[in-house]
Amino acid sequence: MNPPSRRPVDVGLESLVAQPTLLLHKRVGLVCNQASVTGELVHCIDALRESGCDLRLVFAPEHGIHGDVQAQDQVNESHQTHASRKVRSLYGPHLSPDAQSLDAIDALVFDLQDVGARYYTYVWTMLLSMRACAKARIAMIVLDRPNPIGGVALEGNLLDPRFASFVGMHAIPARHGMTVAELAMLFNSQLDIGCDLRPIKMQGWQRDMFFDQTGLPWVLPSPNMPTLDTAIVYPGMCLLEGTNISEGRGTTKPFELFGATFIDASALLQRLDAMSLTGVRFRACSFRPTFDKFAGQLCHGAQIHVLNRHTFKPYLTGLAVIATIRELSPTAFAWRKPPYEFETRRLPFDMLTGTDSIRLAIEAGAAPQEIEAGWQAELDGFRQVRREFLLY
């Protein structure tokens, strides 16, 4: 029998346990969840313990330590345990580790799987943890993981700081093309955080890799991120959270299915097909969400099928879907009202796009490609700025 072939990529967790002296004689805290595993599916809590690490505290982000808590639901800490170990929540009243907790450790290890979109909250948990560590004067070790949708393509406008929230706290584009460790370095520098930051690189990862090229197992990083296909469409289809259109939560294809009770699917497809969006086709369908928007009701809409993930533009596509549905159903379509992700004043769509200019452009009837042209200059600027912080 031939021996198993070696995986192309080892994650930062594997790099860390291969050199355990980095944590020798240190009291350690850890931010993790169910996807914080080695390539052999050993959870980071177990991997660190087996390496001799003195693990004192465990923290979990949105969705909890097991990824069983739905989006924006409060995490009940009494239910948060791993192998009988108590886990503290960083989602709800406390979005970052408190000073008392940090007094009990010498270093905080961060090991969460991002999906490459600005609104995915784990990188903002990381940023807030970096600030807390800087204030407590302890080191923060960020274990790097792949950007599952690649580290080459960038898309979307940069967030306007006036619209900062827990779905976007710094001026990066909607699809940023960076890994968590690279983002940590960028935040530390551009926001002058002053964190004693220790990024731990992956081995073997290349910028043009999608997750299915890494040889790593896909573990749902959150309840509605079941597959790589979900992550590929997420930078655009997550924008539907800012509307009254179902983004497919409560179905087996979240973010790939979208619709509402009032949509004419054939008219929708006719309009979308006429836009000649690259790398994607739409298929008319109907579905009944089991929870979230329109729970138990028959919705009509479409499934998004990505035919070429290299030419597909998720952010532009998401805006095109929203603009088209609004045009076809002007009285039934609505922008979602706050509260949303701890914000009570701003519209959720503006928080997701990081500006009100895109919503206003849609309301004025601007074509999605016209809106896209408006962010190219700042996107090109970000492409140059990020070079300083790329590890691969």
Confidence of residue 67 (pLDDT cuts 50, 70, 90): confident
Candidates 110, 128, 112; CA nearest to 188 is 128
The answer to whether 311 and 278 have CB atoms below 8 angstroms apart is yes
Exposure of 318 in the CB half-sphere (CA atoms within 13 A)? 30
Please list the residue range(s) of the chain that carry CATH number 3.90.1150.140: 228-355
**12-223 in CATH: which number?**
3.40.50.12170
Residue 77 pLDDT: 62
Q: Which residues of 363-376 are buried (b: 16+ CB within 10 A; e: fewer)?
A: eeebebeebbeebe
The answer, yes or no, to whether residue 82 has pLDDT greater than 60, is: yes
**Dihedral sign, CA of 251, 253, 259, 265?**
negative
Cα–Cα distance between 34 and 67 in angstroms, integer?
Answer: 6
* Per-residue pLDDT at 370 exceeds 50: yes
Residue 301: strand pairing partners: 259, 285
Cβ atoms of 336 and 350 within 8 Å: the answer is no
Q: The domain 228-355: what is its CATH number? A: 3.90.1150.140
- pLDDT one-digit tens code per residue, 326-366: 999 999 999 999 999 999 999 999 999 999 999 999 999 99
In this prediction, residue 252 carries a pLDDT of: 97
DSSP 376: H
Query: What pLDDT was estimated at residue 76?
Result: 64
Cα gap 348→284, rounded to integer Å: 27
pLDDT tens per residue across span 238-261: 999 999 999 999 999 999 999 999
Give me the amino acid identity at 382.
F
3 state DSSP class of 203? strand
Domain with CATH 3.40.50.12170 in the chain: 12-223
β-sheet bridge partners, residue 251: none
Q: Report whether pLDDT(310) > 80.
A: yes
Tokens of 278: 């690259």
Q: Collapse the DSSP code of 329 into the 3-class scheme (helix H, G, I; strand E, B; otherwise coil) and give the result.
A: coil
What is the tens place of the pLDDT at every residue in 125-183? Answer: 999 999 999 999 999 999 999 999 999 999 999 999 999 999 999 999 999 999 999 99
